[in-house]
Amino acid sequence: MHIFRIKNSNKFYSKHYWFLRLSIQIHTQISSQLSRGFSLVKTNEKLKGYFESGHVDGARKLFDKMPKRDEFTYNSMVAGFANAGRFNEAKQVFDETPKRSSITWSALISGYCKYGYEDESFDLFWRMRYEGERPSQYTLGSLLRLCSVKGFLSRGEKLHGFIIKTGFGNNAFVVTGLVDMYVKCYRIKAAEKLFRTMDSGKNHVTWTAIINGYSLNGNSDKTLQCFCQMRSEGIEANQYTFPSVLTACGSASDLRFGEQVHGCVVRGGFHANIFVQSALVDMYAKCGDLNCAKEVLESMEVLQVVAWNSMIVGYMRHGLEENALSLLEKMHGIGLKMDEFTYPSVLNALALRKDAFYGECLHCFIIKTGFCDHILVSNALVDMYAKQGSSIGALEVFNEIKDKDVISWTSMITGCTHNGSHEEALNFFQRMRIAGIYPDQVSVSSTLSSCAELTLHELGKQVHGNYIKSGPETSLSVDNSLLAMYAKCGCLDDAITVFYSMTSRNVMSWTAIIVGHAQNGRGKEALPFYDEMVLTGIKPDFITFIGLLFACSHAGLVDEGRQYFGTMIDAYGIQPGPDHYASMIDLLARSGKLQEAESLVNEMVDKPGPAVWKALLTACRKHGNMDIAKRAAMTLIELDPQDAFPYVILSNMYSAAGRWEDAAGLRRLMKLRGVIKEPGCSWIEINSKVHTFFSEDRSHPNTNEIYLKVNDIIRLIKEAGYVPDVKFSLHDVNEETKELGLAYHGEKLAIAFGLLYLPENAPIRIFKNLRVCGDCHNAMKIISKVFHRYIVLRDSNCFHHFKEGQCSCGDYW
């Protein structure tokens, strides 16, 4: 045995003893290390538990006491602090992390994304790339979710480019995030393209994203088609898919499909999910099955204000105001907390029904429940009062809104337009722009409608230009309003340009272009648009046929008018209204078929209204039929003794026939009854200022200059062949005085002013509140030829476009 001595020891040990002692020491050291490792794992688990339970401060204390930390420890702390929104502490730990991995970066980025910090999220992402760390699919997923929620399309598109470059374009998780981002940013075509390029990896999340996208963008048909395709490929829907599909069923009023989806919900075991239940209530309510909607609502164990809101809207849509308000009171009684969407839905329905009593009752209830300060509720109140014609109530609520948004202003503008207060509507639009609020599609459409009614062509062009500059995509409602505005302002060529530039058209678009042609003296050119509309599959409506009959009336197309009148009834089941009969009677009477026109009046099922008799009386004046004119005038006087129209027309017919005593008798009767005749008035707009002229008017500041110009015009056009038509001078005076009276009609004063102050090549646009007289019409034709000017005159009936001695109406008006 080899014996050796250990230093500083008097004892001697064998070799076996020493190796035994050394192995014990090594084992002790390994055990100690394993013990410490096991202790770190347990501590990390405890740390994780603190964050999961929301005890962030406890996690902080434990972290500070830890003698040793690993990568998991730091990642847990960064993720926990970031998830709790404590970013100063999260960044501190992030900076202290010895070795940062993609998990560390993703933890902090995800936290910023969760709380909507756009700049911090993306700055950190690009910094991560700069430091050479490759992001994971979860990093990209967080950033895409941020873009989805906030609508950051530009950021999302940049991410899309990065995803393609770095090879994540085939990652199903990332592509699903991209689809969702494009959907939420209303770029459904981009989302659809991505979805179609996915060869594999489509799961229920991907399908749900595209289905939600179609539903969100209002495409109910594609929503339902996509749902069917998803089912055919064996992918089951879940609680996130069904609400969008049910919403699409409700929007399309497809009750049968909705019932089938309900069956899928029950079979899938999602019938107790509160979000699915709320969507079912909404679907049945929109489809009109209120009993089923009520059954689903009553079966809900958890009360959801969204479902109750849908039920209330369902009642309102079907005219059950008392049921809706009763349900509203029940919500309040059971303590179900209402939200800012509860009241607007009811208020919107009341606005359409013009029910002032229920509206005021609901306003009181809103004040009691403390919702009068919510912007959505206040805007709905403004809209309700405005559309009900209560401008005072709307203005009071509007003035109480502290932070007015575009909807607040739009509610006032649309309300004024709806009630015919067009000048007020334009005033509110101007105030909105001064306040720095950019108009939306609805406010622009309403403003253009007011411009059309007031024939403010220049202002309408400015609104059009500002809307284009502001950058939003065009909409069908704006396009239709533009089309109508240009047509009603006599700019038919501009209206046609708008029409052919439209990406989509509905029945209102086609009707507007038909009516526009008719109003501007191109009745024959209006009819082919009807044929084209029918070929595209769009059914004409009540107003379309008014436009068609109006076009036939102003073009003397009797046979075509009879055909359209029959088609309306036989092919489309549209029963003629007073306006249809008025146009048809006007067509027959103006073409000289007065007896047939009177017979049609007598055949009407409903009692003829003033519009019908006025059409007949006006035609009688043109053809000089005194007998029918007297019957029509007397009937009109019986219907409304205060309407000056029948008195004036019949009196003018007496005067034209030289029956001065009969004419004077009618005027005495008017005076006795206090009937006031609307004076003839013409106006012209120059440099955004309107200049108004009455017959023989001398109130204008430039009167002397204007009258000198009129005398010059009369001299020149007489040399060109103009002969004053004194039969339109309805006063018992000599010929010379009659000619002077005709020379100073309002429209001639307006044309003189236009020739004086408008550029030589600029068209002259004149407007008149009554029908233009035959003498002025003839004079305008010759003026356009002598002065080489394009003249547009809009009277109470239609537009007259004068050019080179001709009128667009063909002297048939």
pLDDT band at 92; cut points 50, 70, 90: confident
pLDDT at residue 24, as a whole number: 47
Is pLDDT at 39 greater than 90 in this prediction?
no
pLDDT at residue 257, as a whole number: 92
**429, 443 contact by CB (below 8 A):** yes
Distance CA 563, CA 109 (A): 70
What tokens does 76 get? Answer: 């847990």
Least confident of 42-46, 270-274, 290-294, 752-756: 42-46
pLDDT at residue 6, as a whole number: 41
pLDDT at residue 727, as a whole number: 62
624 phi-psi bin (left φ>0, alpha ψ -120 to 50, beta other): left
Distance CA 798, CA 518 (A): 8
pLDDT at residue 48, as a whole number: 67
| DSSP letters for 671-738 | HHHT--PPPPEEEEEETTEEEEEETT---STTHHHHHHHHHHHHHHHHHTT----GGG--SSS-HHHH
For the chain, the distance separating the N- and C-terminal CA atoms, rounded to the nearest angstrom, is 140
Least confident of 11-20, 261-270, 400-409: 11-20
The residue type at 92? Q
Is pLDDT at 15 greater than 70 in this prediction?
no
Distance CA 624, CA 444 (A): 46
Q: What is the pLDDT of residues 216-264, one digit of tens each?
A: 878 888 899 999 988 888 888 888 899 999 999 988 888 999 999 999 9
Beta bridge partners of 684: 691, 766
Mean pLDDT across 14-22: 45
pLDDT band at 38; cut points 50, 70, 90: very low
Beta strand 791-794 pairing with 764-768: parallel
Is pLDDT at 69 greater than 80 in this prediction?
no
Q: What would you report as the CA-atom Rg of the chain, rounded to the nearest whole angstrom?
A: 39
Residue 608, classed as helix, strand or coil, is coil
Query: Within 10 A of 190 (CB to CB), how many other CB atoms are there?
Result: 20
Mention every residue, 6+ apart, whose C-beta is less than 8 A from residue 648. 677
pLDDT band at 397; cut points 50, 70, 90: very high
Percent of the chain with pLDDT over 70: 90
Q: Which range among 52-61, 164-173, 368-377, 776-785 has the greatest average pLDDT?
A: 776-785
pLDDT at residue 206, as a whole number: 87
pLDDT at residue 37, as a whole number: 42
pLDDT band at 688; cut points 50, 70, 90: confident
Cα–Cα–Cα angle for 606, 608, 610, nearest 5°? 145
390 phi-psi bin (left φ>0, alpha ψ -120 to 50, beta other): beta
Distance CA 725, CA 689 (A): 32
pLDDT at residue 326, as a whole number: 83
Is pLDDT at 400 greater than 80 in this prediction?
yes
Is pLDDT at 409 greater than 90 in this prediction?
yes
Is pLDDT at 802 greater than 70 in this prediction?
yes
Is pLDDT at 733 greater than 90 in this prediction?
no
pLDDT at residue 738, as a whole number: 58
Q: Which residue has the higher pLDDT, 740 or 513?
A: 513
Distance CA 746, CA 718 (A): 19
Is pLDDT at 114 greater than 90 in this prediction?
no
CA distances from 678 to 188, 534, 612 (A): 55, 42, 20
Domain ranges, ordered by start, for the chain = 1-135, 136-201, 202-302, 600-677, 681-807
pLDDT at residue 33, as a whole number: 41
Q: What is the pLDDT of residues 466-494, one digit of tens each?
A: 888 776 566 788 999 999 999 998 899 99
Q: What is the pLDDT of residues 740-773, one digit of tens each?
A: 668 889 999 999 999 999 998 899 999 998 888 8
Q: Which range among 39-43, 91-95, 458-462 has the greatest average pLDDT?
A: 458-462
User: How is domain 600-677 classified at the CATH fold level?
Assistant: 1.25.40
Least confident of 118-122, 216-220, 578-582: 216-220
What tokens does 79 get? Answer: 């993720």
Domain 1-135 sits in which CATH superfamily?
A: Tetratricopeptide repeat domain (1.25.40.10)
Is pLDDT at 22 greater than 60 in this prediction?
no
**Mean pLDDT, all residues of the chain:** 84
What tokens does 268 get? Answer: 């899938």
Q: What is the pLDDT of residues 490-510, one digit of tens each?
A: 899 999 999 999 988 999 999
- Whether 1-135 shares its CATH topology with 600-677 is answered yes
Q: What is the pLDDT of residues 600-612, one digit of tens each?
A: 988 888 888 898 8
pLDDT at residue 678, as a whole number: 83
pLDDT band at 10; cut points 50, 70, 90: very low
Is pLDDT at 28 greater than 50 in this prediction?
no
pLDDT at residue 53, as a whole number: 64
Is pLDDT at 171 greater than 90 in this prediction?
no
Is pLDDT at 295 greater than 70 in this prediction?
yes
CA distances from 77 to 86, 102, 117, 125 (A): 11, 15, 20, 19
**156, 185 contact by CB (below 8 A):** yes
Looking at the whole model, is its pTM more than 0.75? no
**340, 376 contact by CB (below 8 A):** yes
pLDDT at residue 715, as a whole number: 93
pLDDT at residue 186, as a whole number: 84
Is pLDDT at 716 greater than 90 in this prediction?
yes
Is pLDDT at 9 greater than 60 in this prediction?
no
pLDDT at residue 734, as a whole number: 47
Least confident of 185-199, 370-384, 576-590: 185-199
Beta bridge partners of 807: 802
> Phi then psi for 585, rounded to 5 degrees?
-70, -40
**Mapped to the 3 state alphabet, what secondary structure does 270-286 carry?**
CCCCHHHHHHHHHHHHH
pLDDT band at 27; cut points 50, 70, 90: very low
pLDDT at residue 747, as a whole number: 92
pLDDT band at 803; cut points 50, 70, 90: very high
CATH number for the region 202-302 comes to 1.25.40
Is pLDDT at 780 greater than 90 in this prediction?
yes
Is pLDDT at 426 greater than 50 in this prediction?
yes
